[in-house]
Amino acid sequence: MEQQYATKADVLAKAKELGSMIAETEEVDFFKRAEAQINKNLRVQELIGKIKAKQKEAVNLQHYQKHEALKETEREIDELNAEIESIPLVVEFQQSQTEVNHLLQLVSTSISNTVTDTIIESTGGDKLQGTTNHNPFMNITKK
């Protein structure tokens, strides 16, 4: 009896299916709604615009080695970032980003662990030790 192997195309098709499922989760839905609110919020957009302008200014100051002016501009950028990060809507958006990233990391870790466990089991290995087969060097006693 010949073993059936999954092809790369099969795996990618399942990955796309899993990606679609993830896109339909509560976490992703909340993220999309939070992002839409961020994009509509004039104060947030104004602050983002100011930060981008200051960042360009900082690049120019660094290029021309204007160290004191650069320090001042970096301080202004920090203040703008602190202001934007104090807006509850932005805090919610950042939390939703973290939750989506956590979900993606959880899926990635689960896939990785499943592949590793399957390899260990199929080679007669030991999942607790993380070895794929009997290692003759594991039983050497110290003298």
Q: What is the CATH number of the domain that holds 35?
A: 1.20.1500.10
For the chain, what is the domain count? 1
Over residues 73-104, the pLDDT tens digits come to: 999 999 999 999 999 999 999 999 999 999 99
Return d(Cα 62, Cα 55) in angstroms, integer.
10
- Look at residue 143 and tell me if it is in a domain: no
Boundaries of domain holding 82: 17-127
Is 10 contained in some domain?
A: no
For residue 131, the cross-strand partners are 126
What whole-number distance in Å separates Cα of residue 17 and Cα of residue 23? 10
| pLDDT tens digits along 22-43 | 999 999 999 999 999 999 999 9
